Amino acid sequence: MILLVLLGLFAGLSLIAIGGVASTLPAMARAVVAHHWMSAPQFAALFGLAQTSPGPNMLIATLIGLHVAGLAGALVATLGMIGPSSLLTVLVAGVWERFRSARWRLILQAAITPVSGGLILAAALVVVRAADHGPPAWALTVVVMLVSLRVRLHPLVLLAAAAALGAALF
């Protein structure tokens, strides 16, 4: 039953997504290719598509679900990605509030930031590798990255320019 497989995959990713969904992108890419749902470049294209929509970056799960099992797949993948982690958050939120100034909480908080920072950098490397086949694509990624770091432009402007350049040059 494909919907159960989707639900199981994303519910599992939901619970290990420390630092956000980005850190699960490598595992997600590996899983969809291993299931023969899509190729690595197709995953990259879906990731690009997800980035053009407003909203949190977990929308890649919605798109994978849609690709694999239509509308029902999209909804199941979305619920799988947000369900377990949201439930955990609701359960822990009350406890966290109570230990607002506890020393162990401050230490945990200080400890988690560098770990998730490293995970996100690694996820970025994986995304870049998945998205870019050949020097023109690498160059485009580097240019967009530098422009985004230096200039305040709406992300959609940069994405539209990248799509136009891709159609013209690739």
Contact between 135 and another protein by CB under 8 A: the answer reads no
CB of 103 to another protein, least distance (A): 7
Beta-carbon contacts of 127 under 8 Å, excluding residues fewer than 6 positions away, are: 25, 44, 47
Does residue 25 contact residue 10 with C-beta atoms inside 8 Å? no
CB of 10 to another protein, least distance (A): 11
Does residue 98 contact residue 107 with C-beta atoms inside 8 Å? no
1 versus 111: smaller Cβ distance to another protein: 111
User: What character string, x for contact with another protein (CB under 8 A) and - otherwise, covers 31-70?
Assistant: ----------x--xxxxxxxxxxxxxxxx--xx--xx---
DSSP assignments along 81-140, one per residue:
HHHHHHHHHHHHHHHHHHTTT-HHHHHHHHHHHHHHHHHHHHHHHHHHHHH--SHHHHHH
Q: Which residue has the tokens 């690595």?
A: 40
Site for another protein, residues 139 to 158, rule: CB under 8 A: 140-146, 148-149, 154-156, 158
5 versus 45: smaller Cβ distance to another protein: 45
User: What character string, x for contact with another protein (CB under 8 A) and - otherwise, covers 69-98?
Assistant: --x--x---x--xx-xxx-xxx-xxx-xx-
Tokens encoding 83: 């369900």
User: What character string, x for contact with another protein (CB under 8 A) and - otherwise, covers 95-134?
Assistant: -xx--x--x--xxxxxxxxxxxxxxxxxxxxxxx-xxxx-
Tokens encoding 150: 């230096």
4 versus 115: smaller Cβ distance to another protein: 115
